[in-house]
Amino acid sequence: MPDITFVKPALPRSGALVLLLAEGAALAGLAKAAEEATGGAVSRGLEAAKFKGTKGQSCTLWAPSAGLAKIVAIGLGKADALDAQGAENAGGSAQVAVQQEREAVIAADGLTPTLAASVAMGARLRSYRFDRYRTTEKEEDKPKLERIAIASAEATKAKAAFAPMQAIADGVFLTRDLVSEPPNVLTPTEMAERCKALEKLGVEVDIIGPREMKRLGFGALLGVAQGSAQEPRMVTMKWMGAPKGKKQKPLAFIGKGVTFDTGGISIKPAGGMEDMKWDMAGAGTVIGLMAALAGRKAKADVIGMVGLVENMPSATAQRPGDVVKSYSGQTVEIINTDAEGRLVLADVMWYCQEKYDPRFMVDLATLTGAIIIALGHERAGLFSNDDTLATHVKEAGSAVGEKAWRMPLGDAYDKQIKSDIADMKNVGGRPGGSITAAQFIQRFVNGKPWAHLDIAGTAWSSKDAPTVPKGATAYGVRMLDRMVADHYEG
Amino acid sequence: MVKLILQRSTEALRRHKARGADSALILPVRLGSVPEDVALAAAMKAARFTAKAGEVLAVPGAHGFTILAGIGGGEAISDWEAGGGAGLAAAAGRAHSVLLADAATPEQAAGLAAGALLNAWRFNALRDASKDKDTPPAQVTLAVAAPTKVEPAWVRAEAMLRGVLYARDLVAEPGNRLNPASFAERLRGLRDFGLKVEVLEGKRLTALGMGALCAVGGGAEHGPRLVVLRWPGKLKAAPVAFVGKGVCFDTGGISIKPAAGMEEMRGDMAGAAAAAGAMLALALRQSPAPAVAVLALAENAIGAASYRPGDILRTHSGKTIEVLDTDAEGRLILADALAYTARRFRPRAMIDLATLTGSIITALGHLRAGVFGNDEALTAALMAAGEGVAEPLWPMPIDDEHREILKSDIADLRQCALAGSGAWGGRFLSDACHAAAFLREFVEGTSWAHLDIAGVEAREEAAPLGPKGPSGFGVRLLDRLVAMRFERDA
């Protein structure tokens, strides 16, 4: 991962130079300096490449003289329409364009210090790689980039603006690491262990295992875990950042952490089952979010809780037909052992409310295939019993490019999970499958404002996006960090 | 249709008494109110009757056969409809019934009666129903204080009612009786109500370049038809347009459907039926709004002349389509119908209705239809109209990814995503969104909304507003939309 620094604008003598050019704008600042130093090669090259500066356009000028290996021009679109997301996307594209050089300067001298910081954020986010398990990768295939210098007329200000972003990027990377890890490495125990890394950021981390869960009566979560040789864990992460005298009830974020989901006795088809290593992405997102909030010292009291289990078929596995008693006291008839995430959330959420009496709860879970059939991969499904909270989540997501789409809830849907033998059953059939899953979770919401994000379609991406390389997206970390920043701090 | 008799309440009650056990008296009861009659009040208390909308209590006794019908708070007309419908269902087996609405407003009284008659609909043309236990009363009397004051409200409600029942009758018809030819013939009968009816078929369709409609309908004995229904209205404005999918029977074609459940595919013309029903309602109540319906009728049969996966079709718009799945035929015939409607009529707004995808059932279940579109104001108006008439919608997105997946190597666009290209082993595709993105390519800039009514076109079980089977979903919604939005000058 390259280091990112902020420097005063000056032409580099080697490596790569990235020019960020708005549509129709004349060359100015560093771009103009480069034009002069190369004897007009920049404008000649851009003209030959029909480069107009439209959003997402890019063009590489090789060996333009002045010692540079290359100059990369990246289009920003219309200058007055440039926002943080546009700047981040340009930074991400810049990162990809120069990753085979050791050093690069990105000329952000035409941008405000905040937008220059966003360029840096985009480059940082796109630089993520998960290569822990590659041992034979050829040297020429590895990125070489060691240092990115963001050239800004107000470098100090830009650097200050980048500091909290960097903490957020660290949180995003932590989530991407967790989601990328294979399931034989990232077991519930190991995942809980990794949460402890947050202690050095000032987060209080508390872990409980099956004995304590049994004592508490976590029948729903334990039913899922009982088929696996791996013990379950529940991790509570507390960040108490609200200033003294401004204390309110804490905010709560809860994540589903099924470290591998075979489906259990209701086993999944073989095709694509490897994807089920990321069935812990909800929990991974909550952990990354807590790291981001603590890393930037958010002025809010926040509880993050994750329920970590592995769902396996075995001699001791839970069966369809079983009835389990949840921590709330409500009983659940298991119809399909592959609808396990809601069972884990049920106990963790009820415990969260009893113990911490939060101001609201937001849960994240790769919960249903149905949400992919409903919405695809650009948006997560958002379900909520509280319009204000739902709006806060949705708007924060739009601001950082993590989009959500509100889905309905209602008594008529709730009827689909009525059971003949228990208080409810754990699936409501194919029609409205993600809605009935949300209705199930809502039965474990005890009068609190609550929002549920079904991230099954957005946690993992099969193609690159400007600031998100393919693979684990960490969808939700930036959204919820932004929501806390916009509405619940200070 | 069961006939409604509008009568002064004193007279109606006298006749009710004279008929003894052959007549049922249906009394609407508001939440928290208690009937003056001591025996009824006592029965209500003993049975813990709370008067929720649609709750009923039969009280056989001194006053003949009385049915208490809950109407909830009674503020919404839909509460009166639910009470009338559930009340009439409880009167099954009796020859007569009297709905007592002497204390209601004309609109409430009309709602009570409309609910009853929606409930009383049956499709018994093809069976001996004489031994049915749930046969509704053949005679329904609406007993009011002043019949002449209720008359205008009833005329409006009856127009809606007849439109709904017209649509239900069409949807109920089996595929061997209702083919594109006989469907078009029945639609010609709408001339009796002042609608202009044009039927385009054979060479006319070829000459118009309707390559998609001709391909889908080409494998059947009875070829495809495009039926245009026009209501002139009184306003000097462009018409509002309804476009309906009318696949009289859908085998799936070469991409044939599994055998189980295929009989339900006789209802795959419910969109066209709803559009026709709405036109009938507008004509019956002499709506001032000019309106047009364009119905694409075809049978998706399997045969030597069927179209194939891999075929490229040239549509009326000129755009070419690569066929991947002959069972995604609805969007193909709509493509031609939408472009034709947009070009010929330049409508103020264009709303298509189609039993289009299984994906929308997974997304929203059987409780709401999905609405997609390119005009937020139109979508909002449709949502509001639907809430008012118990035909609820939920907005769904069309995102960039949904359009991108339709890119074709050989034609202007693909008809759907490649099978098996979805997440988790290919199983999860957001086909409803893909279909909407596909249709959007053919609306030619018209203000447009698409209602995916798969899942709501038929009821899975009896409800106050109708028995199990065809619901007529969409007729009331469109009728209300026109009343709300298109009966004033543009």
C-beta of residue A467 within 8 angstroms of C-beta of residue A477:
no
Q: At what angle do helices A281-295 and A155-180 cross, to 10 degrees?
A: 150
Which residue is closest to B400 within chain A, CA to CA? A378
Domain residues of chain A, as ranges? 3-153, 167-487
Residue B372 φ/ψ region, left for φ over 0, alpha for ψ in the -120 to 50 degree band, beta for the rest: beta
User: Which residues are CB-neighbours of B237 under 8 A, at least 6 positions away?
Assistant: B289, B290, B348, B486, B489, B490
User: Is B422–A372 a contact, with Cβ atoms under 8 angstroms apart?
Assistant: yes
Q: Residues B187, B197: contact at Cβ < 8 Å?
A: yes
How many residues in chain B? 490
pLDDT recorded at residue A141: 87
User: For residue B396, which residues of chain A lie inside 8 Å, CB to CB?
Assistant: 374-375, 405
- Phi, psi at residue B121, to the nearest 5°? -60, 135
Tell me A277's DSSP state: G
Looking at the partner chain, which of B399, B424, B455 has a beta carbon nearest the beta carbon of A376? B399
At B484, the pLDDT band (50, 70, 90 cuts) reads very high
Residue from B361, B398, B401, B424 whose CB has the most chain A CBs within 10 Å, to mutate: B424
CA distance A469 to B31: 58
Q: Give me the pLDDT at residue B259, please.
A: 94
Question: Which band of pLDDT confidence, cut at 50, 70 and 90, is reported for residue B490?
Answer: low
pLDDT at A89: 97
* Token pair in block for residue A266: 């209701």
Q: Which residues of A touch B399 (CB under 8 A)?
A: 376, 378-379
A375: which 2 tokens?
């919405």
**A342 a catalytic residue:** yes
Smallest CA–CA separation between B422 and chain A, in Å?
A: 9
CB pairs under 8 A between A and B: 100
Residue A146: partners with Cβ closer than 8 Å, 6 or more residues away: A2, A3, A102, A103
CA–CA dist B298, B119 (Å, integer): 30
**Contact across the interface for B363 and A373, Cβ inside 8 Å:** yes
Inter-residue contact B242 to B289 (CB < 8 Å): no
Which of B226, B402, B238, B432 shows the shortest CA–CA distance to B316? B226
Coil, strand or helix at A46: helix
**Known catalytic residue at A268:** yes
**Residues of chain A contacting B, Cβ within 8 Å:** 269-273, 275, 369-370, 372-379, 405, 407-408, 410, 412-413, 416, 430-436, 456-457, 462
Alpha-carbon span A248 to B46, nearest angstrom: 49
B415/A contact by beta carbon, under 8 A: no
**CB atoms near residue B196 (< 10 Å):** 12
Minimal C-alpha gap between A396 and chain B (Å): 18
Residue of B nearest to A374 (CA): B363
Give the list of residues 6+ apart from residue B46 with CB closer than 8 angstroms, or none.
none
Residue of A nearest to B420 (CA): A271
Q: How many residues would you count in chain A?
A: 490
Beta bridge partners of A82: none
Contacts of B400 in chain A (CB under 8 A): 378
* Kind plus residue range of the DSSP H or E element containing A452: strand A450-454
Residue environment code for A58-71, b if the CB has 16+ CB neighbours within 10 A, otherwise e? bbbbeebebebbbb
- Residue A140: its pLDDT value, please? 86
Cα distance between residue B87 and residue B31, in whole Å: 15
d(CA A242, CA B95): 72
- Of the candidates A220, A485, A207, A214, the one whose C-alpha atom is nearest the C-alpha of residue A345 is A220
Contact B423 A416 (CB under 8 A): no
B445 touches A: beta carbon within 8 Å: no
- Mean pLDDT for B143-155 is 97
A402 CB neighbours in chain B (<8 A) are none
Please report how the helices B106-120 and B77-90 are oriented relative to each other, as an axis angle in degrees rounded to 10. Answer: 40
**In chain B, what residues touch A431 (CB-CB under 8 Å)?**
361-362, 364-366, 455
What residue of A is the nearest CA neighbor of B369? Answer: A432
> Nearest by CB to B428, which of A273, A373, A408?
A373
| Report field, pTM of the whole predicted structure over 0.90 | yes
Nearest-CA distance A52 → chain B (Å): 23
Which residues in chain A have Cβ-Cβ distances shorter than 8 Å to B359? 373-374
**Which 3 state secondary structure label does DSSP give B165?**
helix
SS3 call for B375: coil
Q: Which residue intervals of A248-326 are DSSP H helices?
A: 281-295
CA distances from B189 to A337, A396, B176, B179, B297 (A): 55, 55, 20, 16, 16
Q: CA nearest B239: which of B367, B365, B341? A: B341
Nearest partner of B84 among B66, B105, B101, judged by Cα: B101
pLDDT at A213: 98
Cα separation of B182 and B160, whole Å? Answer: 24
d(CA A63, CA A473): 35
Helices (H), B101-229: 106-120, 147-172, 180-188, 203-207, 211-217
Residue with tokens 């078009």: B184
- Contact B424/A at CB under 8 A: yes
Decide if A332 contacts A326 (C-beta within 8 A): yes
Q: Is B422 on the interface with A (CB under 8 A)?
A: yes
In the three-class reduction of DSSP (H, G, I as helix; E, B as strand; rest coil), residue B61 is classed as strand
Name the active-site residue from A342, A425, A448, A482: A342
Quote the CA–CA distance of B128 and A481 in Å, as a whole number. Answer: 66
Residues of B in contact with A275 (CB under 8 A): 423-425
For residues B108 and B84, is the Cβ–Cβ distance under 8 A?
A: no
At B302, the pLDDT band (50, 70, 90 cuts) reads: very high
Contacts of A178 (CB under 8 A, 6+ apart): A186, A191, A194, A280, A283, A284, A287, A288, A472
What gap in Å lies between CA A29 and CA A8, rounded to an integer? Answer: 11
- Summarised one tens digit per residue, pLDDT across range B152-173 is 999 999 999 999 999 999 999 9
Answer whether B23 touches A (CB < 8 Å): no
pLDDT at B62: 62
Q: Which structure tokens are listed for B363?
A: 């997304």
> Long-range contacts: A48-56, Cβ < 8 Å, 24+?
A51/A21, A51/A75, A52/A23, A52/A24, A53/A21, A53/A22, A53/A23, A53/A24, A53/A25, A53/A77, A54/A23, A55/A23, A55/A86, A55/A89, A56/A89, A56/A93, A56/A466
Residues of B in contact with A378 (CB under 8 A): 397, 399-401
- Token duo for residue B352: 């298509």
pLDDT of residue A490: 75
B304 class by beta-carbon count within 10 Å (0-12 exposed, 13-18 middle, 19+ buried): exposed
Question: Is A377 in contact with B423 (Cβ distance < 8 A)?
Answer: yes
Q: Which of A268, A299, A325, A359 is catalytic?
A: A268
CB A19 within 8 A of CB A72: yes
Phi, psi torsion values for A315, nearest 5 degrees:
-65, -25
* Spatial distance between the Cα atoms of A407 and B397, rounded to a whole number of angstroms: 11
Task: Identify the three-state secondary structure at position B418.
Answer: coil
Chain A CB within 8 Å of residue B435 CB: no
- Give the mean pLDDT of chain B: 96
Min distance A276 CA to chain B CA atoms (Å) = 8
ipTM value: 0.91
**Within 10 A of A47 (CB to CB), how many other CB atoms are there?**
9
One of B331, B368, B414, B476 is an active-site residue; which one? B331
Is B1 a residue whose pLDDT tops 80? no
Chain A residue with the nearest C-alpha to that of B460: A431
Give pLDDT tens digits along chain A (490 positions).
899 999 999 999 999 999 999 999 899 999 999 999 999 999 999 999 999 999 999 999 998 877 899 999 999 999 999 999 999 999 999 999 999 999 999 999 999 999 999 999 999 999 999 999 999 999 888 999 999 999 999 999 999 999 999 999 999 999 999 999 999 999 999 999 999 999 999 999 999 999 999 999 999 999 999 999 999 999 999 999 999 988 899 999 999 999 999 999 999 999 999 999 999 999 999 999 999 999 999 999 999 999 999 999 999 999 999 999 999 999 999 999 999 999 999 999 999 999 999 999 999 999 999 999 999 999 999 999 999 999 999 999 999 999 999 999 999 999 999 999 999 999 999 999 999 999 999 999 999 999 999 999 999 999 999 999 999 999 999 999 999 999 999 7
A222 within 8 A of A297, measured Cβ to Cβ: no
Instruction: Please tell me whether residue B8 adopts helix, strand or coil conformation.
Output: strand
B97: β partners: B24, B140
Chain B residues whose beta carbon lies within 8 Å of the beta carbon of residue A408: 364, 367-368, 394
> For the sheet containing A233-240, what is the strand order?
A204-208, A233-240, A301-311, A251-261, A360-365, A450-454, A379-384, A403-406
The answer regarding whether domain A167-487 maps to CATH 3.40.630.10 reads yes
Flag if B423 and A372 touch (Cβ within 8 Å). Answer: yes
Query: What domains appear along chain B, each with residue ranges and CATH number?
Result: 3-145 (3.40.220.10), 163-486 (3.40.630.10)
Structure tokens at A52: 């107009």
Architecture of domain A3-153: 3-Layer(aba) Sandwich (3.40)
| CB-nearest partner of B397 from A375, A416, A431 | A375
